[in-house]
Structure 1
């Protein structure tokens, strides 16, 4: 079964408050079997302007990735992310 992924692009506008999002989202993601493959780090965007920070999270499958995003725990954390950053999330199924 193909894995599921979150691909996240973020520009943090309030680092102190955004840290609370990271504190809350990590245990939720991990409780759904999510594994952070990329969480920040050096990057270059040679072809188009992008957000400052990039995150890739792997889940056991696409349905689990969706369930995590839709969960009450993650939605509570997401309110903080949305208030203190500009961000885009894509939830995608990997290759079989």
Structure 2
């Protein structure tokens, strides 16, 4: 079965408030089998425009990635991200 991925491209506008999101999202995503592959770190945009921070979370399946994103507990925490950062969140089926 193909894995699923949640990919986030983020520019944090309020680092102190965003820290709460980072702390609270991890256990919620982990309960759905999520494993952070990329979480910030050095990056280079070789083509096009992008936001500053990049996150890739691997899930056992695309359905698990969807379930994690749609989890009401995660959505409550995601409101912190929405208030403190600009972001693009993408769900992708992998190979």
Which TM bucket (shorter chain)?
A: over 0.9
The answer for the alignment partner of 1:56 in structure 2 is 56
1:38-87 per-position Cα deviation (integer Å, ceiling 9, x unaligned): 00011100111210000000000000100000001100110000000000
Q: Distance in 1 between matches of 2:47 and 2:16?
A: 31
The answer for the alignment partner of 2:81 in structure 1 is 81
Give the structure-1-normalised TM-score: 0.97
The answer for the alignment partner of 1:27 in structure 2 is 27
Helix, strand or coil for the counterpart of 1:11? strand
The answer for the alignment partner of 1:69 in structure 2 is 69
Q: Distance in 2 between matches of 1:60 and 1:50?
A: 27
Give the structure-2-normalised TM-score: 0.98
Which ranges in structure 1 are unaligned for 5 or more consecutive residues?
none
The answer for the alignment partner of 2:36 in structure 1 is 36
Helix, strand or coil for the counterpart of 1:44? coil
4+ residue runs over 6 A deviation:
none
Q: Distance in 2 between matches of 1:91 and 1:46?
A: 22
Which ranges in structure 2 are unaligned for 5 or more consecutive residues?
none
